[in-house]
A and B are shown apart, each in its own frame.
Chain A
Amino acid sequence: MENIEELKKSLTAEINQAGDMKALEEIRVAVLGKKGRITEMMKGLGALPPEQKIETGKSLNLLKGEIEQVLTERKSVLEAKELNDKLAKEIVDVTLPVRPENQGRIHPVSQIYEEVVAIFGQMGFSVAEGPDIEDQFHNFNALNMPANHPARQMQDTFYIPNPDSADFDDSYVVRTHTSPVQIRTMEKKELPIRIIAPGRTYRSDYDATHTPMFHQVEGLVIDKNITMAHLKGCLYDFVKAFFELDDVPVRYRPSYFPFTEPSAEMDIGCLKTKTELKIGAGTDWLEILGCGMVHPKVLEAGGIDPNEYQGFAFGVGIDRLAMLKYGIPDLRTFFESDVRWLKHYGFVPLDSASMTGGLSNNGGAAR
Chain B
Amino acid sequence: MKFTLSWLKEHLDTKASVDEIAEMLTKIGLEVEEVINPAAALKDFITARVETYERHPDSDHLGLLCVNTGMEKLQVVCGAPNCKQGLVGIFAQVGVTIPCYNEKLKVGKIRGVESFGMMCSEKELGIGEDHNGIIELPADTPIGVSAAQVLNIDPVFEISITPNRAECLGVRGVARDLAAAGLGTLKPLNVKKIAGSFKSPVTVSIEAKEACPTYVGRYIKGVNNKAETPKWMKDRLCAIGLRSISPLVDVTNYINYDMARPLHVFDADKLKGNITVRMAKDGEKFVSLEEKEYALDGQSLGICDDEGVQCLGGIMGGAEKGCCEETKNVFLECALFAPDCIARTGRKFQIDSDSRYRYERWVDPKSNILGSDYATQLITEICGGEVSEIEIAGCEDCAERVAYLRPERIKSLIGLEVSKEKIVDILNKLGFVTSEENGKIKAVSPTWRGDIEGEHDLVEEVVRMIGLDEIPAESLPHDKFPSQTLTPVQRRNVTVKHELAARGMLETVTWSFTDSKVAQMFRKAGQEAVLLFNPIASDLDEMRPSVLPNLLLAVKNNIAKGYGNVSLFEVGPQFFGRKPKEQALAAGGVRCGMTSKKVWTGDERAYDVFDAKADAIAAIAAANGPWENAQVFRDAPEYYHPGRSGSLRLGKNVLAYFGEIHPAVTKKLGIKPRVMAFEVFLDNIPEPRAVQGKARKKLELYQFQPLDKDLAFVMNKDVKASDVIAAAKNADRVHITDVRIFDVYEGENLPEGKKSLALSVTFQPIENTFTDKDIEGLMNKVIDEVKKKTGGELRA
Contact = CB atoms under 8 A, between A and B. Distances in A.
Chain A partners chain B: yes
Interface of A: 96-97, 99-107, 109-110, 113-114, 117-118, 120-127, 129, 131-135, 138, 147-151, 153-154, 158-163, 171-172, 174, 194, 200, 202, 204-206, 212-213, 221, 225-230, 232-234, 236-237, 251-256, 258, 261-265, 293, 295-296, 310, 334-340, 342-343, 346, 348-350, 352
Nearest to B598: A100
A233 B507 contact: no
A227 B568 contact: no
A129 B573 CA distance: 12
Contacts of A213: 511-513
B511 A114 contact: no
Contact of B468 (A102, A234, A254): A254
A339 B561 CA distance: 10
Contact of B508 (A102, A107, A129, A293): A107
Contacts of B27: 253-254
A334 B509 contact: yes
A125 B490 CA distance: 14
Given A121-B482, A254-B460, A337-B568, A102 B474 contact: no
Most chain-A CB neighbours within 10 Å: which of B498, B567, B595? B498
B532 A158 contact: yes
Contacts of B28: 254
A265 B603 CA distance: 55
Interface string B493-515: 01001111111111111111100
B575 to A, nearest CB: 7
A162 B530 CA distance: 10
B357 to A, nearest CB: 8
Contacts of B456: 261-262, 293, 295-296
A239 to B, nearest CB: 11
Interface in B439-472: 454, 456-457, 459-460, 463-464, 468-469, 471-472
Given A236-B473, A262-B459, A296 B454 contact: yes
Instruction: List 9 A-B pairs, minimum CB-CB distance, nearest first.
Output: A229-B415, A121-B485, A102-B504, A254-B29, A256-B162, A337-B554, A104-B501, A227-B415, A148-B343
B583 A148 contact: no
B416 interface: yes
B777 interface: no
Contacts of B578: 133, 160-163, 172
Nearest to A137: B580
Given A104-B500, A132-B573, A110 B507 contact: yes
Contacts of B416: 228-229
Given A151-B163, A339-B566, A253 B511 contact: no
A133 B507 contact: no
Contacts of A226: 476
A229 B506 contact: no
Given A150-B343, A213-B511, A337-B554, A253 B487 contact: no
8 contacts: A121-B482, A122-B482, A126-B487, A133-B580, A133-B582, A160-B532, A171-B533, A174-B543
Nearest to A203: B536
Contacts of B463: 228, 254, 262
A365 to B, nearest CB: 15
A160 B533 contact: yes
A102 B510 CA distance: 22
B501 A106 contact: yes
Contacts of A106: 497-498, 501, 507
A99 B512 contact: no
Nearest to A172: B578
A209 to B, nearest CB: 14
B468 A221 contact: no
A131 B596 CA distance: 39
A337 B497 contact: no
Contacts of A103: 504
A229 B482 contact: no
Contacts of A121: 482, 485-486
B475 interface: yes
B17 interface: no
Contacts of B475: 123, 230, 233-234, 237
B478 interface: yes
Contacts of B164: 256
B483 interface: yes
Contacts of A147: 344
A49 B490 CA distance: 99
Contacts of A256: 29, 162-165
A253 B468 contact: yes
Residue in B456, B513, B572 whose Cβ sees the most chain A Cβ within 10 Å: B456
B438 interface: no
Contacts of A172: 578-580
Given A122-B482, A221-B476, A229-B471, 14 more contacts: A99-B599, A104-B500, A113-B494, A117-B485, A117-B486, A131-B582, A161-B533, A200-B572, A228-B463, A237-B475, A255-B31, A337-B557, A338-B557, A338-B558
A230 B415 contact: yes
B699 interface: no
Contacts of B600: 96-97
A349 B581 CA distance: 30
Interface in B590-611: 595-597, 599-601, 603-604
A193 B416 CA distance: 23
A233 B476 contact: yes
B535 interface: yes
Given A150-B361, A256-B163, A261-B457, A159 B532 contact: yes
Contact of A232 (B471, B505, B596): B471
B36 interface: no
Nearest to A343: B506
B507 A105 contact: yes
A167 B499 CA distance: 46
Nearest to B414: A228
A233 B474 CA distance: 4
B468 A229 contact: no
Interface string B34-51: 000000000000000000
Interface in B147-205: 162-165
A200 B512 contact: yes
B474 A229 contact: yes
A149 B507 contact: no
A133 B507 CA distance: 24
A217 to B, nearest CB: 13
Given A227-B412, A253-B468, A264-B468, A132 B476 contact: no
